[in-house]
Structure 1
Amino acid sequence: MAAAISLKLRVEGMDCGACAVKIENAMKRLPGVSDIDVNYSLQSLSLVVDEDRTSRHAIEAKIKALGYAPVDPSGSIASSLHDDNRDVTESAWWSSSKGRLVIGTGVLLMLAFAISDVEPTWSNRAYTAAALIGLLPIGRRAFAGAASGTPFSIEMLMSIAAIGAVAIGAAEEAAVVVFLFAVGELLEGVAAGRARAGIKALIDLVPRTALRQSGSSVETVPVEDILVGDTVIIRPGDRAPSDGTVIEGISEVNEAPVTGESVPVGKEPGSKIYAGSINANGELRVEITRTAADNTIARIIHMVEEAQGSKAPTARFIDRFSRWYTPIAMTLSALVVLVPPLLIGADWFTWIYRGLAVLLIACPCALVISTPAAIASGLASGARRGLLVKGGAALETLGKIKTVAFDKTGTLTSGHPLVTDIVVIAGTEAEMLAKAAAVERGSSHPLGAAIVAETERRGLNIPQAFGGGIATPGKAVTARLKSGFVSVGSPRHAAEQSDISDEIKKRIEALESQGKTVVVVSEGKHLLGLVALRDEPRPDASDGLAKLRALGVHAIMLTGDNARTAAAIGSALGLEARAELLPDAKLAAIAAYKSDGPIAMVGDGINDAPALAASSVGIAMGGGTDVALETSDAALLKNRVAGVAELIALSRATLSNIWQNIALALGLKSVFLVTTLFGVTPLWMAILADTGATVLVTANALRLLRFEFKS
């Protein structure tokens, strides 16, 4: 007894939502087949099959009968990047089944034209032959679809219309309609291929080979052979083969392909490297931390693919609508044929002709593809700019956001304290800061690390401490320097050791009222000065919040930090701040704002997980980290506050594009319907109401790939 297995196939020729529906319906009718996932934007089919009940051969045969080509993608370029194995190469249009149909029907049409020109009496027979021969593959797909649970397919409508046209003597128009239908399907495929170009571009970011170092030898190996812990060499101009950590070398790296950040980022030992980033100058030795199948690029690809495969609310509505739309349209076509001749004795030929034209206009492809084409382009456009959205539902919701709630630490602020003020009491500023750094050097405390970093930034010489610092938890750190014992501690500890004048106390209170932490530097019992530190706002925070306000979105800060610090940061950034919120209080605040409209929560994706999940859309900050890719509904790889406004603007552009597409699809059909009923539209133009609209809708959706945020 064979166990159920997972099967993944690439399905060539599947270029629209209607194609995916046909394949899904066909798979549902096969015994032992479950967990069906069809993604037309990626031309992929995945399912679970019990091979005792349905063989793989039967599945492939059913797909072929519908007019598509199932392909085993194992061993493809993409397989080295992630487990959605598939071939990513695009064949030339003339070698595809749709291309061959265009060429074949075109040749038949030209032959019929030539025959009718040479022997006019044979004209009708020549065009009839051209129409019926060209219709054969379309008709086979129509009846295969009907047998598999999709009776109202575009191929069925086409077949009925073409055969009907031949029957009433309009063979010439029938042949032209078949040819135009083939051209329209080819153009759909070309447009869909362009929409898939975003994924291919991401795959191409990762080199196929890498320079792996083993001892003193260096060898070129396929990128999929690199293992965690291997050391690779990245030369100037090379792309990183996978994620890793720099262990030797200093250089600048262009991370724009991954994060969208255009400014090169400095790298040194200990720095992270992302797959696909480009080394600018110095040679780097990098220890690999992720395999090719699990690196940042692979996970971005996987996330975008899953997002493109998911249906947005509008897309689900259109799908439900189209299930009723097509049968209603076919009923309308029948009424157009029957009612005028039966009620008022109108000419049968005229109204059969017009009814067939209505049948062609009724094809739902343009309407069905209107939403997913825009969503797929919006998701791909965002991914290329470091804005990752996990699905069409989140992308749609972002455009409707009324309020954005920010966590403070690590989101609006840098996440670590910086020296903001230095008050000298005795000696010089440089001497006092250098002595404080000498005491704190080697300390793991964030405040001590910030003092050392500021001293090094200023290029000051740090004195040698003898014996290391002695820490008194919660009070001070003391070390012996050449000049004597120096302490860096809290104001309370300093007051216990020596007298602090009222003037210094007032200065300490003033700094603390600004949300800053103050430490006192003293030598023996003599005060040398004060150092104030605070987790400062990100450099781009103010600009990012201004962009949100320009979009009409209200911003608030929800933090568990103390009220004084929250008020200071909120005042500096010009936004409402709610402080000292425990997780339950944060959730209550989110719920209150949510009752007034959709709210987005922006956090670091770790301690904000409950609030991120409770919001309408959770947005994680983080430059390519696991948290940024795997937590929440969206992630900002640029790690900038301005990315929130860019996400909302992209969503609004996508929503606008969706409604433009729906208007194009229904508007063009409405115009052609009216002109058809008045006898203005011939059959060959009626087919343009669908194929033409489908191409226009897809082309309009592709404009989102060039989306640029305008502040």
Structure 2
Amino acid sequence: MNLLMIAAAIGAAAIGYWNEGAMLIFIFAMSGALESYTMERSRKDISSLMELQPETALRLEQGEMVSVSVHQLEVGDLILVKPGELIPADGTIYRGASSVNQASITGESVPVDKTVGSEVFAGTLNGEGVLYVEVTQSAEATLFAKIIRLVEEAENEVPASQRFMKRFESVYARVVVIATVAIITLAPAVLGWDWDTTFYKAMVFLVVASPCALVSSIMPAMLSAISNRARQGVLFKGGAHIENLAQTAVVAFDKTGTLTMGTPVVTDFIAGEGWEREELLGISASIEWMSKHPLAQAIVQYAEGAGAPRRQVEHAQSLTGWGMQAELDGVVWKIGKSDMLDQDDAADAPNNLDQLSAGSKSYWISARNRLEAEGKTVSVMMKGNCIVGMIALQDAVRPQAAAAIKQLQKLGITVAMLTGDRKVTAQVIAAQSGVDMVFSDLLPEDKVRHIKELRAKYGHVVMVGDGVNDAPALATATVGIGMGVSGSGTALEVADAVLMNDNIEEIASTVKVARKVQRIIKQNMIFAITVIATLIIANFMEGVALPLGVIGHEGSTILVILNGLRLLRSKA
């Protein structure tokens, strides 16, 4: 394309149209500047967060604070963050309390209160308090570092339509040059034109047939869309994924941490006959305090909130795939899955049910069934071989889940939920959120199989997930979307886009923007082809003045770019 413009400018000058040649180069340069502006604007909107990357941290070493590079920080280090400073690493608050501005990561405009045990992220701004933070991620593994990698991938990724346009441009430019030479050599003999008319029309043809507007139809619009979404907390790894998103037929959500908050809470605590509720709460917290499992931590928090005192237990250990056990006053206590109530063979159960009367067992089974019908996860508490309590926990549905799904359905998109949870629990969450299809009791490979089946039946499928177990499905889907705050590193690595604020309502907005991009690109291409065809035909039929050809050609290029730039301010 540059070659065609230079040749056209030289040709215009050769026949005495110096001003038109200069105008051609000027307007061509202006259109190039607009494209560069779009690229820089997109890059700025995506990567402005990089400027918030702290370079040093105050690390506690032998009782003293030492300034070190953030790349020297290791997991477990204790660092000091003063008021008004950027937090240099991902971690949890060891001591202190403050409000933290997380706008650079999540897009939240209001600072979030943080206390001991709260999670903080590198690149966020500490408020008025002094914080001691225990580092949980190396500099290369922080959420901030993941954002930077996303930016680099977004800058290097070229959509399929643009790759095709580049190949087309190369072939088309050669055709235009050959056609121009053919006009100069053949027109006098075939059409009877004189030399001046032939050369003039050939130069006009060279100008108006150049594919500048056509080539500029795609990337400015695509980059504007990427920039638009970045400001709303949605980062894409490249324009190709926006193209694919526009064709979305199905959006499949993981349940835990995606449609739900991913943090279970205790909803029911049933004490057996003859037992005080507070006593059992204290014992359950004493046992589960030794576990890092989310359900165990939820039980501990519930007991602490109720003011139940913990007791000293011994020989605490995890029962793989079932729960926890520990000794208290020489008696073994256990907390774990309630599925042992369904096992008749005592040898296959994690405990012996011989001492349970039929009535007692029926009572607990009835309670379990009632709680599970409400979509809750149920654990039993045992002293020796007797069940003495039952605990129900539930992962709350995200406040915006129902609205997000309704917005997708309004766009004609089918919504599915893929989960490893039980069917009853999955159906309750599905009813609360309004999804169209539910697939439960799934292993990671089962999720992959269902994604493949959905793609075969519906076409383009988007998968939204946050965990390591979602990574294969994210990679299998047409477009994988990861949760930026709650998502695992593996999920973010394989995802094609990331919700930096975990707001799943932005998925529908992003689909709207993606579809708008496709409409704008089609508008641009139709307009560009129409202008080129009209000017070429007019040049041969009636004749087009070179100044008019320059203005018509380069003006159409500028209009196409400006049309794409509309997305910078679009609110979807």
TM value normalised by structure 2: 0.81
Cα 1:664–1:267 change in 2 (3 A) is: farther
* Letter matched to residue 219 of structure 2: P
Q: Does 1:358 align with 2:221?
A: no
Q: Aligned to 1:392, which of 235, 239, 248? A: 239
Once residues 581 and 283 of structure 1 are traced to their aligned partners in structure 2, the CA distance between those partners, rounded to angstroms, is 45
Cα 1:267–1:159 change in 2 (3 A) is: same
Asked if structure 1 preserves the Cα contact closer than 8 Å seen for 2:468 and 2:491, the reply is no
Aligned pairs for 1:669-688 within 5 A: 669-677=532-540, 681-688=544-551
Q: Does 1:629 align with 2:492?
A: yes
Query: Which residue of the partner structure matches residue 201 of structure 1?
Result: 48
Once residues 208 and 571 of structure 2 are traced to their aligned partners in structure 1, the CA distance between those partners, rounded to angstroms, is 35
Q: Does 1:534 align with 2:381?
A: no
Query: Which residue of the partner structure matches residue 297 of structure 1?
Result: 144
State the 1:199 CA deviation. Answer: 4.6
Query: Which residue of the partner structure matches residue 170 of structure 2?
Result: 323
Query: Which residue of the partner structure matches residue 430 of structure 2?
Result: 570
Query: Which residue of the partner structure matches residue 59 of structure 1?
Result: none
Query: Which residue of the partner structure matches residue 403 of structure 2?
Result: 543
Once residues 47 and 441 of structure 2 are traced to their aligned partners in structure 1, the CA distance between those partners, rounded to angstroms, is 47
Query: Which residue of the partner structure matches residue 250 of structure 2?
Result: 403
State the 1:516 CA deviation. Answer: 2.8
- Secondary structure of 2:562's match? helix
Once residues 442 and 113 of structure 2 are traced to their aligned partners in structure 1, the CA distance between those partners, rounded to angstroms, is 37
Once residues 679 and 270 of structure 1 are traced to their aligned partners in structure 2, the CA distance between those partners, rounded to angstroms, is 79
Cα 1:462–1:551 change in 2 (3 A) is: same
- Secondary structure of 2:93's match? strand
State the 1:635 CA deviation. Answer: 2.7
Query: Which residue of the partner structure matches residue 250 of structure 1?
Result: 97
- Secondary structure of 2:49's match? helix
Asked if structure 2 preserves the Cα contact closer than 8 Å seen for 1:511 and 1:532, the reply is yes
Q: Which deviates more from structure 2 when the two are superposed, residues 255-264 or residues 287-296?
A: 287-296
Cα 1:419–1:184 change in 2 (3 A) is: closer
Q: Aligned to 2:224, which of 377, 380, 383? A: 377
Aligned pairs for 1:547-626 within 5 A: 547-575=407-435, 576-596=437-457, 597-623=459-485, 625-626=488-489
Name stretches of at least 5 consecutive residues in structure 1 with no aligned partner: 1-152
Asked if structure 2 preserves the Cα contact closer than 8 Å seen for 1:605 and 1:612, the reply is no
TM value normalised by structure 1: 0.66
- Secondary structure of 2:122's match? coil
Cα 1:264–1:671 change in 2 (3 A) is: farther
Query: Which residue of the partner structure matches residue 696 of structure 1?
Result: 559
Q: Which has the higher contact order (CA 8 A, sep 6+)?
A: 2
Q: Does 1:666 align with 2:529?
A: yes
- Secondary structure of 2:360's match? coil
Q: Which deviates more from structure 2 when the two are superposed, residues 500-509 or residues 377-386?
A: 500-509
Count of residue correspondences: 551
State the 1:526 CA deviation. Answer: 11
State the 1:402 CA deviation. Answer: 0.8
Q: Which deviates more from structure 2 when the two are superposed, residues 633-642 or residues 395-404?
A: 633-642
Name stretches of at least 5 consecutive residues in structure 2 with no aligned partner: 342-351
* Letter matched to residue 609 of structure 1: A
Query: Which residue of the partner structure matches residue 298 of structure 2?
Result: 450
Cα 1:634–1:219 change in 2 (3 A) is: same
* Letter matched to residue 412 of structure 1: L
Once residues 365 and 139 of structure 2 are traced to their aligned partners in structure 1, the CA distance between those partners, rounded to angstroms, is 58
Once residues 202 and 475 of structure 1 are traced to their aligned partners in structure 2, the CA distance between those partners, rounded to angstroms, is 42
Cα 1:501–1:594 change in 2 (3 A) is: closer
Asked if structure 2 preserves the Cα contact closer than 8 Å seen for 1:537 and 1:569, the reply is yes
Cα 1:706–1:276 change in 2 (3 A) is: farther
State the 1:640 CA deviation. Answer: 3.8
Q: Does 1:171 align with 2:32?
A: no
Q: Aligned to 1:418, which of 257, 260, 265? A: 265
Once residues 697 and 526 of structure 1 are traced to their aligned partners in structure 2, the CA distance between those partners, rounded to angstroms, is 76
Q: Which deviates more from structure 2 when the two are superposed, residues 505-514 or residues 422-431?
A: 422-431
Percent identity reads: 37
State the 1:359 CA deviation. Answer: 0.9
> Aligned-pair RMSD on alpha carbons?
4.0
State the 1:461 CA deviation. Answer: 1.7
- Secondary structure of 2:289's match? coil
State the 1:519 CA deviation. Answer: 4.4
